[in-house]
Structure 1
Amino acid sequence: MQVIYEDNHIIAVNKACGEIVQGDKTGDETLIDQVKAYIKDKYKKPGDVFLGSPHRLDRPTSGVVIFARTSKALTRLSEMFKDKEAIKKTYWAVVDTLPENMEDTLEHYLWKDEGKNKSYASPTPKPKKGAKHCKLAYMHRASLNRYHLLEVNLQTGRHHQIRVQLSKIGSHIKGDLKYGAARSNQDGGIHLHARKLEFIHPVQKKMIKIVAQPPKGDVIWNELIQIKELKE
């Protein structure tokens, strides 16, 4: 677990592929458990440690995850994550095929199949009962021999949204078998990374920018991070 920001109200970590934010049927240790243990040890806190989760990332995805250390911060962050204007969410996605347009906005109507834990998208309004509007903007940032990096600004927060919307235009995220990639990654993760969150601090009211480096030890990410234009 890598802590990349912390203060009295919030703490952010750079989630690794395969880690889970909250508990699921696997019973695996969660990031919440790890962060609580970190806080308890670092600050010598007796008893239970309060930690709230205002959002989450898919298990195979890496990048910035924020937790609230106070109930006030949790309430306000939860509301902020519901407001598409309150938090700017920037992702990096490594795809197998370059989109037709180097920069574009994608809008679809998305619905989830609970049994398959998979989402589907259509450009047609209300293609299925319960379908919700989803929107993102992307731009091409770099290319390697076989793969291409897209920077994605997420404007709504739907289940597997980036994965299904990019797949819909023929750009499959590396390693994402569920949404059309040719093969899986060795670590079971996918090349989708929550690169950056920018927002007004829920308590201190100052601008915060939290940036997470892509997973170390991965050849593709290592090559991309060396590109001068991609460095913060």
Structure 2
Amino acid sequence: MLYEDNHLIIVNKRPGDIVQGDKTGDKPLSEVVKSYIAEKYNKPGAVYLGVVHRLDRPTSGIVLFARTSKALTRLNKMFAERTTEKTYWAVVKNVPPKQNDRLVHFLKRNPKQNKSYANSKEVPDSKKAILSYELIKELNNYYLLKIDLETGRHHQIRSQLSAINCPIKGDLKYGFDRSNKDASIHLHARELKFSHPVKKELIHILAPPPKDAIWDACI
């Protein structure tokens, strides 16, 4: 757990965990957190837990849940109006074209492939996707980028970085040449800043990345 009170619970998701249930039938993180709350607070019956946002299964990092319907409604509004600040780390294969840049693409999703394609111009059924990146560290053979999202689209970071020839380490779907042994990708939801939905104070969460040689070199 990264943060917990009567209104919110924030966890550091491991790669491979799913946030909500899907067709695999694997136990989702939301159910794990519900069980944790029920046990810790000795709650009989159903535990309320609202899913505010999701991360892709192979991605790690910050996931925010609401413990009350009031908190969920207010957090959903914040995310919709983009008053939250989300920062990601991505380890990529190639040096980016610029030290820092703002990328604007139009993403078209292919549901059958579960993949989004980045286009430089608007195409039918596409959605505008915007992110800013900064090269913050050079590693042996890899590069660490800090990414600030302006929009939240399906596979947005993965698709947009692939479009500038910077596929994320382990991300076969978007152009990396081999998978990671644990099927993860080196994309991590690193930082989240937002106003508490009830207390109105600033919440600033920083999530340590998973333990491996590449991530360890980033810290």
TM-score normalised per structure 1: 0.93
Quick check: 1:61 aligned with 2:59? yes
Q: Which of 102, 108, 111 matches 1:111?
A: 108
Q: Return 5+ residue gaps in structure 2 as ranges.
A: none
Quote the Cα distance in structure 1 between the aligned partners of 2:166 and 2:118. Answer: 14
Instruction: Give, as a single letter, the amino acid of the residue that structure 2 aligns with 1:51.
Output: L
Aligned-residue offset at 1:120: 0.3
Deviation of 1:183 (Å):
0.4
- Tell me what 1:207 maps to: 202
Selected match of 1:99 from 96, 102, 107: 96
User: Which residue among 75, 79, 82 is the counterpart of 2:80?
Assistant: 82
**Cα deviation 1:70-90 (Å, max 9, x = unaligned):** 000011111111122x11000
* Structure 1 residues without counterparts, runs of 5 or longer: 226-232
- CA deviation after TM superposition for structure 1 residue 40, in Å: 0.8
Pick the aligned partner of 2:214 from 215, 220, 224: 220
Which residue matches 2:3?
A: 5
Q: Quick one: distance in 2 between partners of 1:119 and 1:224?
A: 28
Q: Deviations over 1:162-190 (max 9, x none)?
A: 00000000001000000000100000010
When the two structures are aligned, how many residues end up with a matched partner?
A: 219
The yes-or-no answer on 1:150 pairing with 2:148 is no
Residue in 1 that maps onto 2:49:
51
1:70 to 68, 71, 78: 68
- Following superposition of structure 1 onto structure 2, how do residues 155-194 of structure 1 map, counting pairs within 5 Å? 155-194=150-189
- 1:13-71 superposed Cα distances (whole Å, 9 cap, x missing partner): 00000000000000000101110011111111111110000110000000000000000
Q: Distance in 1 between matches of 2:100 and 2:217?
A: 22
Match of 1:229 in 2: none
Distance in structure 2 (CA, Å) of the matches to 1:182 and 1:116: 18
Paired residue type of 1:55: H
Match of 2:38 in 1: 40
Counterpart for residue 123 of structure 1: 120
Whole-Å Cα distance in 2 between the matches of residues 207 and 72 of structure 1? Answer: 18
* 1:109 Cα deviation after fit: 0.5
Q: CA deviation at 1:211?
A: 1.0
Letter matched to residue 35 of structure 2:
A
Cα offset, 1:103, TM superposition: 0.5
Q: Which amino acid aligns with 1:103?
A: N
Secondary structure of the residue aligned to 2:25 is coil
Match of 1:230 in 2: none
CA distance in structure 1 between the aligned counterparts of 2:108 and 2:77, rounded to whole angstroms: 23
Q: Secondary structure at the match of 1:184?
A: coil
Counterparts of 1:28 and 1:81 in 2: how far apart (Å)?
Answer: 27
Structure 1 Cα separation of the partners of residues 77 and 136 of structure 2: 31
Structure-1 residue corresponding to 2:130: 135
Q: Give the percent of matched residue pairs that are identical in Structure 1 and Structure 2.
A: 58
Structure 2 counterpart of 1:228: none
